[in-house]
Amino acid sequence: MKVIASNKKARFDFDILEEIEAGIILTGAEVKSLRQARVSFKSSYALIMEDKVVLKYLHISPYKFADNKSYDETRERLLLLNKKEIVKLENKLNTAGLTLVPLSLYFKKGLVKVNLGLVRGRKSHDKRAVLKERTQNLEAKKALKYY
């Protein structure tokens, strides 16, 4: 499994309740651009529209050697999930405050996969608490290492 890119900001801004792996429908030039890791997760999220999961605002830069005159970098991309998985996700998303956010993109057996996270937003004081906890854990590991 070769990771193309991961959404570090999402792991900081949200509490991840569940992770789901999904396929994604792309063009050939987009796949070649992903092989060069030319992707940005900024403000991207997923929605369920008419029994289909759609990834919005995922920015994939145009491939340099492709004929991309009418290429839209942030077009909506369909995600490939089973009907049962979509219904299950839709039921969970109906609860207040939950969102689907892409956490990472990776190649698995030559196919591009998206790791989606069912997330709940964190407050700013929660973010500070997480940072404090991480630094304490890091200091404890260092202390144990030099003990």
Is 132 part of any domain?
no
| CA angle (82, 56, 113) in 5-degree steps | 45
pLDDT tens-digit map of 20-74: 999 999 988 899 999 998 999 988 999 999 889 999 999 999 888 888 778 888 8
Query: Does 126 reside within a domain?
Result: no
Number of separate domains in the chain: 1
In a domain, 73, yes or no: yes
Judge residue 119's burial from the number of C-beta atoms within 10 Å of its C-beta, 0-12 exposed, 13-18 middle, 19 or more buried.
buried
Q: Yes or no: say if 147 and 38 are a contact pair by the CB < 8 Å rule.
A: no
Strands 77-80 and 52-56: antiparallel
Stretch (H or E) spanning 19: strand 14-24
Coil, helix or strand at residue 16: strand
Residue 49 covered by a domain = yes
pTM: predicted TM-score of the whole model, two decimal places:
0.80
DSSP label at residue 57: S
Start-end of H helices in 7-123: 8-13, 28-35, 83-93
